[in-house]
Amino acid sequence: EEEGTWGESFKSHHDSKPRGNEAVSLDFSFPDADNVYGIPEHTDKFALKTTTSGEPYRLFNLDVFEYELDSRMALYGAVPVMYSHGPKHSAGVFWHNSAETWVDVVNYADSTVVSSLVNLVTGGQKRRVDARFISESGIVDVFVFLGEKPADVFRQYAMLTGPAPLPPKFSLAYHQCRWNYVDEADVRSVDNGFDEHDIPADVIWLDIEYTDRKKYFTWDALKFPNPAEMVANLTSKGRKLVTIIDPHVKREAGYFLHEDATDLGYYVKDKEGKDYEGWCWPGSSSYLDFFNPVVSKYYAERYSFENFPGTSKDVHIWNDMNEPSVFNGPEITMPKDCRHYKPPQDGNDGLAAFWEHRHVHNEYGLWNIRATHDGMLQRADNKYRPFILTRSAFAGTQRYAAVWTGDNMAEWGFLAVSVPMCLSLASAGISFCGSDVGGFFKYPEAELMTRWYQAGAFQPFFRAHSHIETKRREPWLYEPATTALLRDATRRRYALIDFWYTLFYEHSVDGLPVMRALFQEYPSEEDTYTIDDQYLLGNKLLVRPVVEPGVSNVKVYLPGAATRTLWYDVDTYHAYPANGYLTFDVTLSKIPVFQRGGSVVLRKERVRRSSALMADDPYTIVVALDANGTSEGSLYIDDGETYDYKNNKYIYAKLAYETGSMTYSFVNEKASYPTRSWVERIVIAGIKNPPKTAKLVQGDKQTSLQMTLHKGNDVLVVRKPAASMAQPWKIIFSY
């Protein structure tokens, strides 16, 4: 056939399709399933909808400007994993393909004319969902997961693609970002603003304007003449800096990155085999071919302190625009007939000598962040844990980076959709997820900003971010009453920083989502199968963000009625028996958050300017008793930043309460960490038979403790037991 026979054109773009038309597809049936979930990233419900009356779900990483809500169309991430669940069992399918993929869903429980006719003709089951995956190229490479419960299949997928490693502790605290903080004085002003207004913060972010005219691994010498000094000022307060590094490279003579990539052949090639040129923030740009291990190694070395002067172990990285984004490309991305490095093999010549971009598009960002991760490790001799944020995502992204939901808008709908979007990503192994608090585009009025901070404080990645053309919105720029509410929401996050850290440690071990849909913990409760406006953190806290304006009450589903589960308001310690939906009053200062009866949650009430400064502060241990009067929880402690925990320099402890005693014991007795933190008080909620005395036993020392009863004599407070968290202890109650 003549060259170009299969080519297609759309407007000004032409796809040469040198291999001709190709596709690979497979149908899956999920019997006994009520719903299917997953295949992020979309602005849709967590439980996927039947697509017979519209477009299928599309998986194709794209830079989508002002993306729409309630859409099945492509966004920044594409993770081709789908789960099903019904009362009998759960299942999952991982369609391992990084080409453009479309997914159709047919749920036979949907009351549509089409599904009713199909059921009538086929005699099909009511509880059944079918799905069809079709990709533009590739092979059939499928993994199937089976289990009794959702946790079984979530865990299998996480172990297949790799659970997320333990992140540095600061990354679970509050981040302040804007496109852009314009110079060192601006950074200093924002940093000081948090201190002046008594709002904790751990990270200041710099967007693209910090560079020398969009040349990455450089600084604007006029605006940022002393970056090392700027970083040192932040670190003196326990804070960090994050700088953005995008994968496009400015095509400018004399720019070291461009000169090296050109001379060494490190760029992605166009269909003719020449360096591909596109358009992005710097103007004319080319893109490093991270599929080539030599290129990735070179790129990783750019992160060394010598090659990126002004940085230190306290400067972390944001890889944006890595779908990849090409402003003048088809659909704002790279043409599909561009060429990537392919490992040489015997007989590989002609078209077989390279990967077309169409084959690997959805993996480009993954290889970008992998190279960044390698560089961040190498720059400090593999001692310190890196933090990386990525916009593009594929299966396995969780091993290297956190993900956010992209360039959202300051509208209530975008606040609401952040919950199902993060639930979907979490099910696909990517638990470290959040949205731009306040919305990237437009300006959030006070009520929306308040509700977004309250929601963000209970989502894994907590970062405020905004567009360069929007009005500044640091928390203290609102009216004092609103600033107070934003301060309170942020301080709530810091009070629970060790709770979050423990969740992510456990996530690194078992791969289970940190932010969980209710049906994961209550798989037999059919009412939970489509709930995506509330969620669980681990199996301990239930959160229902307020995502509607002007409301005075909201409905909250309290699961676990069959096991007589109790849910305690985290502020009042009032216990509510699980009984499905209940209506709760809300004020502008409060969203519904409950602690499950039978759980132990540790808080740090002395909130300081950064999480690092709270490391040795005391704990308040909140024991929420179940219907049997028992409770258990866990705590993880290490230095928060190094890999020393891999050498048994950590504490992972279990806390257990039952009538007569409370114990704090180490899971791994060979591990230890010299923490100076201690127990300031213990709050036991739901106590029915208060003890008369309490005694702390730690080592060979015994100490009598003081106790007081509160709130109708069902909340017992043990005051200042002063037990060290560096060694096991036990409290014995007498009646």
Identify whether the C-beta of residue 687 lies closer than 8 Å to the C-beta of residue 625.
Answer: yes
* Residue tagged 């409905």 (tokens): 555
Asked if 195 is an active-site residue, the reply is no
Active-site residue identified among 44, 246, 314, 320: 320
Distance CA 184, CA 230 (A): 7
Task: Give the type of residue at 12.
Answer: S
Per DSSP, 430 falls in state -
DSSP notation for 35-56: EEEE----BS-SBPPP-TTSPP
Identify whether the C-beta of residue 8 lies closer than 8 Å to the C-beta of residue 14.
Answer: yes
- Strands 240-244 and 90-95 come out as unpaired
Asked if 320 is an active-site residue, the reply is yes
Identify whether the C-beta of residue 312 lies closer than 8 Å to the C-beta of residue 242.
Answer: no
Distance CA 75, CA 88 (A): 33
Distance CA 355, CA 675 (A): 51
Per DSSP, 23 falls in state -
Distance CA 172, CA 500 (A): 7
* Residue tagged 């608090």 (tokens): 437
Distance CA 137, CA 9 (A): 19
Active-site residue identified among 130, 202, 407, 626: 407
Distance CA 142, CA 571 (A): 47
**Helix spans in 284-363 (H):** 293-301, 357-360
Long-range contacts, stretch 480-487, CB < 8 angstroms, 24+ apart: 482/446, 482/449, 482/450, 483/197, 485/450, 485/453, 485/454, 485/588, 485/589, 486/199, 486/449, 486/450, 486/453, 487/197, 487/198, 487/199
Identify whether the C-beta of residue 666 lies closer than 8 Å to the C-beta of residue 648.
Answer: no
> Dihedrals φ, ψ of 591, to 5°?
-120, 155
> Which DSSP helix (H) or strand (E) runs through 666?
strand 661-666
How long a stretch of residues is the chain? 735
> Which DSSP helix (H) or strand (E) runs through 28?
strand 24-31
- Strands 553-558 and 541-543 come out as unpaired
Task: Give the type of residue at 150.
Answer: P
Identify whether the C-beta of residue 500 lies closer than 8 Å to the C-beta of residue 526.
Answer: no
Identify whether the C-beta of residue 239 lies closer than 8 Å to the C-beta of residue 204.
Answer: yes
Instruction: Please list the active-site residues.
Output: 320, 407
